[in-house]
Copies of this chain bind each other. A is one copy, B any other.
Amino acid sequence: MTLTGNLLIGQRAVPGSGDAIRAIDPATNQALEPAYAGGTGEHVAQACALAWAAFDAYRETSLEQRARFLEAIATQIEALGDALIDRAVAESGLPKARIQGERGRTCTQLRTFARVVRSGEWLDVRVDNAQPERQPLPRADLRQRQVPLGPVAVFGASNFPLAFSVAGGDTASALAAGCPVVVKAHGAHPGTSELVGHAVARAVQQCELPEGVFSLLYGAGREVGIGLVSDPRIKAVGFTGSRSGGLALCQAAQARPEPIPVYAEMSSINPVFLFDAALQSRGEALAKGFVASLAQGAGQFCTNPGLVIARQGPALQRFIAAASEQVHQTVAQTMLTPGIFSAYDAGVGALAENANAEATASGQPAQGPNQCQAHLFVTQAEAFLGDPALQAEIFGAASLVVACDSDEQIRQVAEHLEGQLTATLQLDDADLDSARALLPTLERKAGRILVNGWPTGVEVCDAMVHGGPYPATSDTRSTSVGTAAILRFLRPVCYQDFPDALLPQPLKHGNPLQLRRLLDGQREA
């Protein structure tokens, strides 16, 4: 298909009338056609009205219908072929293989949620049968299921133009829950967004769903973004991005006459703890693994390892030397946008000027515009504990090693950290006791804890948690990756003494959906 620059309000392609943006190829700084004129408050209202009109019908689609819809989206995205890959590469500066992999992940994610929808476990059906003879009072018949919250506003992320964007994890999990979705595309990849948006819209049509199930808007943060979050018909928000962006949405959501939940995945520096025996026995291998994780994709991952914590001594010195050598060999890579590159540059500059941090190694210099030169810094635990600036996230391939005096100081540093998406432990058998002692702190600080791996790479599966205490996310009770992401968009409703004819399918006495209900306190086999 030819890109048009139009908004997509339900099935209708509509030209925007706000300020226009064009995507920039960050590898060349060239603007890409077409122009995307921003939506207005009126467009926001139209998309929300359609979403609201679609909600009651969409949420009562059968599990099979909804699963097929998710699968149809995946198929439609695959049918876009190389046009999607080429445009996403041009808009993001990411290598073709990475974008191809991301497309695979996006479609697998949609199909995984189709499996989740079919299983019906997320309905969490609970039945307490009537006990008419109970003394002193009879018990009513009580049945509970989960229902979707309502239309969801999804904000595309810059760093995953497919997997965390128009048809990414937030959209897939909201649609799976039965919520219509209005997406605000990220300004870095409007063309990719338009292509994927049309794929979703075709799936809507093919599955004969109400058109308001999906809309796609472009435009400025204030008018379109805050407008969406403030619209009374929007009942929840999914966002991946900066802390300032996420907090602005949280504030708008709280200021509404009816506040709504915001799931903002914001800021994390992903500490890596190197324990003594591991550092002694395989410091050089650790340095290689660490820098590979740090530099992958120019470090533009929420789970990039921005902090390394270890006991000082010769083993740590050897690790720093080996890591510095690796960093030094790292070739500069194009970042996603000129804005992200500037922010990285400013963050690294501030750290370089911080008297508490020593610049230890730099990667190969840039050969073109917007290229990320990797950096490694070292500081002492005492300085780290006293200087909050040292735990500010630098989005890109920069990391800071914190040298500690003792296990106790390592624990203090861990306790001093803000909430994180991940914490990583590099350990040998002899380190198990030290790791065990640190674990309670890390469980309070992070959503995912890894042993002898690296935090980049987030599996889409049942057990994944891509979340964590504030400010990693605005809602620590949730994950934005993995099948549990569907739980963010649901609320329980109890039905008391309903005649069978009036009960929704999942709650009927005959259990026609064959769900494993919690029946009178026992889980059905």
Contacts and interface: CB of A to CB of B under 8 A. Distances in A.
A149 B494 CA distance: 26
A459 B465 CA distance: 34
A443 B503 CA distance: 12
A245 interface: no
Most buried by B among A457, A461, A501: A461
A471 B257 CA distance: 9
Interface in A91-139: 101, 115, 121, 126-128, 136-137, 139
Given A121-B523, A128-B462, A463-B127, A449 B496 contact: yes
Interface stretch (A32-40, A163-171, A379-387, A476-484): A476-484
A144 B462 contact: yes
Interface string A364-395: 00000000000000000000000000000000
A499 to B, nearest CB: 7
Contact of A497 (B432, B453, B477, B492): B453
A492 B440 contact: no
A469 B149 CA distance: 9
B516 A523 contact: yes
Nearest to A142: B463
A491 B476 contact: yes
Contacts of A518: 121, 462-463
A461 B137 contact: no
A31 to B, nearest CB: 34
Given A128-B459, A150-B444, A436-B502, A140 B497 contact: no
A464 interface: yes
A439 interface: yes
Contact of A128 (B115, B452, B461, B497): B461
A388 B498 CA distance: 31
Contacts of A476: 149, 491
Nearest to A490: B477
A451 B499 contact: yes
A516 B494 CA distance: 25
A497 B261 contact: no
B261 A463 contact: no
A449 B493 contact: yes
A210 to B, nearest CB: 13
A450 B439 CA distance: 46
Contacts of A128: 459, 461-464
A349 interface: no
A128 B126 CA distance: 26
A497 B447 contact: no
A470 interface: yes
A502 B439 contact: yes
Nearest to A477: B491
Interface of A: 56, 60, 101, 115, 121, 126-128, 136-137, 139-140, 142-144, 147, 149-150, 250, 254, 258-259, 261, 419, 432, 435-436, 439-440, 443-444, 446-453, 457, 459, 461-465, 467, 469-471, 474-477, 479, 484, 490-499, 501-502, 516, 518, 521, 523, 525
Given A465-B493, A469-B491, 13 more contacts: A60-B440, A126-B462, A142-B461, A144-B484, A258-B419, A259-B474, A261-B477, A432-B499, A449-B498, A451-B495, A451-B498, A479-B494, A484-B492
Please provide the 9 A-B residue pairs with the shortest distance between their CB atoms, ordered closest to farther: A465-B494, A142-B463, A144-B463, A126-B463, A450-B496, A448-B494, A128-B461, A56-B440, A126-B462
